Amino acid sequence: MIQTINLQRAFTTEEVRTIALNGVNLEINEGEFVAIMGPSGCGKSTLLNILGLLDAPTGGQYLLGGQDVTPLSEPERDRLRKGLIGFVFQSFNLIDDLSVEENIELPLLYMRMPKAERRKRVEEAMRRMDISHRAKHFPRQLSGGQQQRVAIARAVVSRPKIILADEPTGNLDSRNGREVMELLSQLHDEGATIVMVTHSQRDASYAQRIVNLSDGQIVTEVEM
Amino acid sequence: MKQAFRLISRMKGYTALSLLGLIISLSGTVIIARYLHQEWTIDHWMPDRERICLAQREEYESDDPNANRSAMIARKIPEDGHPITETEGVEAATSVWLRSLFSVKLGGEKTFTVYAISADSDFVKVFPLEAVEGTLDLHVEGDAIISETLARKMFPDKSAVGQTFMAENRLHTVTGIFREPATKSTVHYEMVTYVEDEGWLNNTFRLTFAKLKEGLTREQFNTRQVKQKGVTAFSYGNDNKEVLWNYKLEPYDYFLDYTNHENWPSVNKPSSKEHLWMLLAVGILLFFVGIFNFLNLYAVMRHARNHEMTVRRLFGASRLDIFSMLYMENLLISALAMVGVWMVVELTTPHMKDWFNMEQMTMPVFDTVLSLCIVLLLPLVSAAGKVKRSGRGSHLFLFLQYFISISLITVSFYLMRQLRVMMTADPGFNTENVISCLPYTSDMYSHEDMNKEVTDRQLFRERMRESPFVHDLCEDQNFMAEKYEIQDANGTSMYWMKMNEHIQNVLGLEILEGRGLCDSLDNHSNTYHCVINETALKRLGLKNWRTEGIPLSFYLHVTSDTDTSKYPTYQVVGIVKDFHPMKQSEPQPAIFFTYEQGKYDRQHTVYYIGSSEKRTLVSIEPGHEAEAVTYLKKVEKEVFGKNDLDYHWLSDEVKAMYEEDRRTARIFFTFSFLAIAVTCLGVLGLMMFDVRRRYREIALRKVNGATFRDIALLLSRRYLIILAAAAAVSIPVSLIGLHQLITRYYTIHATIAWWIPLVSIAIVLLLCALTLWQQVWKATRIRPYEVLKEN
């Protein structure tokens, strides 16, 4: 499903060149749940952004579903990402001015899905995440746990094959964190491929494989 | 103040947009405000201007003093006695001669072109000029006083007093320097030369001004004069008829209707009231566009500092503290804007005459007061305003900006269309292939001069008519520039023109009924014949014009061979088809024609206020314009010995009448684009803020699949909705406004074409879309991972 070959990403400013990823070779199969761990600044989020087609590598190759996406332009990456990849962020990243249901509806809107179908999918996602009673509320009116549920609902509403989660429990208390992980685990059980960046050993324990990064390189891979 | 500087440096983008918007709008406003002030304060530099009057004299027969008046410009010291200075109630009087531009020569062949007038020794007793150096009293021929600016220009390195120069082949000496009047003057001059005897003056127009004693009004003076039934009497003509006369004072600027700037460059005709009101409207609208823009952008800056304000309040800042801080920030921005405004005004002032025919003079007091008002009051408004989270205030301001911009451009399109309609409308008389020229000027100071001129003019006419290129010619025609209004005994106003067969030929006047006036039937006729146009016929209400006469309220001619003891009744001999010798915006005039024989005869000269320049109209055979002009120059040289034919085409004279309309349309057009420019700056500022505020949202939308079109729509939707609302309101409002304008100011008018409002909206939409485009493009370039990483 996902394969990176000698993946590299360097950030260059006027004064300094920083290497975030330095020859990452990673293969993730369809339906796999992989946790990426490592100290701050090791390149976890950079790798996730590249996997999510939000960023492009400066070297190496990235094959997604067997297609080499490395040479794709930004609009092409945007098009490919639509409906294929869902994102869950540590800080939820909900749009403040949109209600819960509007936030969830967002990816469907850009997929130009008919309104009735959108409605149906949003209701289903809200029911599944147990937030239907909050449909008309705005993000600021929700607790952290509820916001992350909305974020997960938004990530899954388009039924993506891949869900990328960047420290999804980082801003949650343990109870809410556990609930979120249960939800992700459930999605994985239903066939989703999940790649999760985390600092938490406990969260990582939900994954089938843990990839440890250090200084932009994979140092260990542990099957669970 | 330190914090205010910090704010400016921290929020450079918004500050720059605010400043630019303010500079553009306030520059336009200041330019218009100065011009309006200048026009509305004409002659205010003379504190006693109400007491300064133009002196005329009225004549009537001694045996019927209540009847038959004719008026003429009074001489200060008339040949037939009783100077105006000796008249009761007059404090001082002076004779002033309007002049053409003076060519002044200094040593070393240095030449200056100078606005000059000539006057007698009492000039400064009537006109209170302030002396800067030397004395302003003029005593002997050759004395001259000059303005401070001219003194600096002519004699940059030395005192001008005592210096000499040549003008009109005479040596002049500067006796004094006067300070330029603080306001615009009806008669503008940089130099006044002394004249006692007008005998040597060529090409002049004499005016006598009297200054009344304090407490006496012009009306009181005139009533007193009429009651006295003539201050003096004189006899003239073959039968030594006794004529009485007295002085009549008219307002100071009464002569304006009878002069034009082309002939008398010193004369400043004020702009018409309706045009000034229209300029005021443009100025105010542009001002508001700028202010709304500033308030909007400042609200954005305030939004961006909400957190800072909360912290300040949290740590004890009172409302007054916050207000003071905001006031200082705004004061700094306003002051900086004002510096920019004056730079623009100073840079554009020299070009205002060419661009908009708006000469700008320096008015230090007005300029200072205006600047201080803006700099001190604007911060009060912006600092006191509350910033609402909903952004409704900014929506309203933006709506108003769009509304004003669309309305202004709609009106400017209409004005241009109206101008075209007026200029292409058929005036009803020949304007093509007609030359208006001045082949000679009257320099008659003796019977010999008079006789010579009569002979010369006769020869000129004969020689011109010999040419195969000349269709016909008529003399003493200044009807386009000088309009004489007369009344019948019932008070019906009509314009008076002269007619003979040549005038009829040259102008192509069409006689509908009866006959025109001509040499054979009307020269030396003992009855008063006239022709009137269709409008005059209607207005006078004549049921049978062939038998009813028109009793005039005063004499037009002073002749020795007519019975002047009776009230003159003119017999109508023909009806001429209506034609329009004035601007098409004015109603069709009623016109009353009397015979003019077309040759000089002092006995038949109309004693009426008017310049001595009477133009000759020459009708040219089509296709032979160049040959005709060459021939005309040749005959002028041959007969009058002149070599500098002053001529132009009558069609250009017609076009020149619309100069003010053209200017107003041009100002509307230019300033409406300034308003759009300011609005675009506001939109740019708001959009910048929007994009910045919604960075994360845009990034998230992009993560979730939003395309360029989605982002563009997301960001511009608000602006487009406001624009649509403004367009929906501005169309009916501007159409109603235009309808009012049309019915109030224009007799004939262009139709309000359907495309005018649509094009106006399209222009505003296009320019705003171009402004938005840059920010939309920037927004779609956002890299989501970078933005989301920061959050």
pLDDT band at B557 (very low <50, low <70, confident <90, very high): very low
CA–centroid distance for A135 within its chain:
23
What pLDDT band is residue B66 in, cutting at 50, 70 and 90?
very low
Question: How far, in Å, CA of B726 to CA of B723, rounded?
Answer: 5
Q: What pLDDT shows up at residue B554? A: 54
pLDDT for position B782 = 79
φ, ψ at B618 (rounded to 5°): -120, 120
Please give the residue of chain B at the shortest CA–CA distance from A157. Answer: B704
**pLDDT at position B723:** 92
Contacts of A87 in chain B (CB under 8 A): 703-704
Question: Residue A129: pLDDT above 60?
Answer: yes
User: What is the arithmetic mean of pLDDT over B707-716?
Assistant: 86
- Which chain B residues touch A107 with a CB distance below 8 Å? 704-705
Chain A CA closest to residue B703: A54
Which residue's entry shows tokens 């390149």? A43
In contact, B30 and B355? CB cutoff 8 Å? no
Tokens for B730, please give them: 């501005």
Query: Where does the pLDDT of residue B14 fall: very low under 50, low under 70, confident under 90, or very high at 90 and above?
Result: confident
**Residue A3 reports pLDDT greater than 90:** yes
Query: Can you read off the two tokens belonging to residue A194?
Result: 């999940």
Q: What is the mean pLDDT of chain B?
A: 82
- When pLDDT is averaged across residues B256-264 and rounded to a whole number, the result is 68
Confidence of residue A100 (pLDDT cuts 50, 70, 90): very high
Report H helices in B317-446. Answer: 319-356, 364-384, 392-424
- Reported ipTM: the value is 0.73
Computed over its alpha carbons, how large is the radius of gyration of chain B? 33
Residue spans of alpha helices (H) in B649-783: 650-656, 659-693, 695-703, 708-745, 755-780
pLDDT at B561 over 90: no
The better pLDDT of the pair B639, B391 is held by B639
- Tens digits of per-residue pLDDT, B433-451? 899 887 776 554 556 666 7
Residue B152 has pLDDT above 60, yes or no: yes
Q: Which of B700, B705, B788 sits opposite A82 (nearest CB)?
A: B705
User: By mean pLDDT, which of A60-69, A153-162, B487-496, B596-605 is the weakest?
Assistant: B596-605
For residue range A144-163, what is the model confidence (pLDDT) as tens digits?
889 988 998 998 898 889 99
Contacts of A49 in chain B (CB under 8 A): 785
| Closest residue of chain A to B790, computed from CA coordinates | A91
Closest chain B residue by Cα to residue A55? B785
Segment B612-638, tens digit of pLDDT: 456 789 999 988 888 999 999 999 888
Is A110 in contact with B710 (Cβ distance < 8 A)? yes
Give the best residue of A110, A152, A157 to mutate against chain B (max B CB count within 10 A): A110
Query: Which residue in the set A52, A96, A111 is minimally distant from B705, CB to CB?
Result: A111
Cα distance between residue A121 and residue A132, in whole Å: 12
**Does residue B738 have a pLDDT over 50?**
yes
Q: Which residues pair with B572 in a beta bridge?
A: B530
Task: Give kind and range of the element (H or E) at residue B470.
Answer: strand B470-474
The residue-averaged pLDDT of A18-39 equals 92
Mean pLDDT of A102-116: 88
pLDDT in tens, B165-195: 988 778 899 999 999 988 889 898 999 999 8
Q: What is the pLDDT of residue B532?
A: 92
Q: How far apart are the CA of A111 and the nearest CA of chain B, in angstroms?
A: 7
Chain A residues with beta carbon closer than 8 angstroms to that of B701: 95, 106, 110
SS3 (DSSP) at B487: strand
Start-to-end C-alpha separation, chain A: 20
pLDDT at B562 over 50: no
pLDDT reported for residue B565: 46
Would you call B791 and A93 a contact, using CB atoms and an 8 Å cutoff?
A: yes
Residue B54 to residues B206, B208, B258, Cα–Cα distance (Å): 11, 6, 13
Q: Which residue from A131, A168, A133, A165 is spatially nearest to A150, judged by alpha carbons? A: A131
Token pair of B768 as six digits: 């705003």
Find chain A residues with C-beta within 8 A of B697's C-beta: 95-97
* Cβ separation B705–A91 shorter than 8 A: no
- End-to-end Cα, chain B, rounded Å: 34
**pLDDT for A195 beyond 80:** yes
Block residue for tokens 């960075």: B695
Q: Quote the minimal CA–CA distance from B695 to chain A in Å.
A: 11
Using an 8 Å Cβ cutoff, are B660 and B272 in contact? yes
* Percent over 70 (pLDDT), chain B: 84
Q: Do the Cβ atoms of B285 and B673 come closer than 8 Å?
A: no
Band of the pLDDT at A214, cuts 50, 70, 90? very high
What average pLDDT score do residues A56-71 get? Answer: 92
Task: Specify the pLDDT at position B37.
Answer: 92
Mean pLDDT of B152-177: 90
The whole-number pLDDT of residue B218 equals 92
Lowest model confidence (mean pLDDT) among B106-120, B368-382, B409-423? B106-120
**Whole-angstrom Cα distance, residue B678 to residue B24?**
7
Q: B765: closest CA among B711, B709, B714, B725? A: B725
What would the pLDDT profile of B76-99 be if each residue is shown by its tens digit?
777 666 788 888 899 999 988 888
Minimal C-alpha gap between A96 and chain B (Å): 8
pLDDT digits (tens, 9 = 90+) for B477-490: 667 656 667 777 77
Residue of chain B whose alpha carbon sits nearest to that of A155: B704
pLDDT above 90: residue B319:
no
- Residue B391 pLDDT class (50, 70, 90 cuts): low
CB contact under 8 A, B704 and A110: yes
The answer to whether B705 contacts A87, with C-beta atoms less than 8 Å apart, is: no
Say how far apart CA B198 and CA B442 lie, in whole Å.
13
What are the angstrom distances between the C-alpha of B60 and each of B243, B496, B556? 6, 20, 12
The alpha carbon of residue A153 is apart from the nearest alpha carbon of chain B, in Å, by: 13
Residue A179 pLDDT level (bands cut at 50, 70, 90): confident
B 664-723 residues inside an 8 A Cβ radius of A: 696-697, 700-708, 710
Whether residue B364 has pLDDT greater than 90: no
pLDDT at B610: 41
Is B457 at the interface with chain A, CB within 8 A? Answer: no
In chain B, what percentage of residues exceed pLDDT 90?
A: 26
Using one digit for the tens of pLDDT, what is the confidence trace for B742-779? 887 787 888 888 888 889 999 989 988 888 888 888 88
Facing residue for B704 by CB, picked from A45, A75, A107? A107
- Subunit contact A81:B705, Cβ cutoff 8 A: yes
Among candidates B52, B42, B234, which has minimal Cα distance to B127? B52
Separation between Cα atoms, residue B681 and residue B772, nearest integer Å: 10
Q: Which of B694, B695, B704, B790 to mutate to test the interface with A (most CBs of A within 10 A)?
A: B704
Confidence band of B598 (pLDDT split at 50, 70, 90):
very low
SS3 state at B417: helix
pLDDT in the model for residue B709: 86
Task: Find which of A114-123, A164-173, B100-109, B238-247 is predicted with most confidence, using mean pLDDT.
Answer: A114-123
Comparing alpha-carbon positions, the chain B residue that sits nearest to A98 is B697
Distance, CA of B94 to CA of B96 (rounded, Å):
6
Q: Which of A5-14, B227-236, B464-473 has the lowest mean pLDDT?
A: B227-236
User: Which of A54, A76, A121 to mutate against chain B (most B CBs within 10 Å)?
Assistant: A54
Confidence category of residue B578, pLDDT binned at 50, 70, 90: very high
Per-residue pLDDT tens for B521-541?
Answer: 887 666 778 899 999 999 988
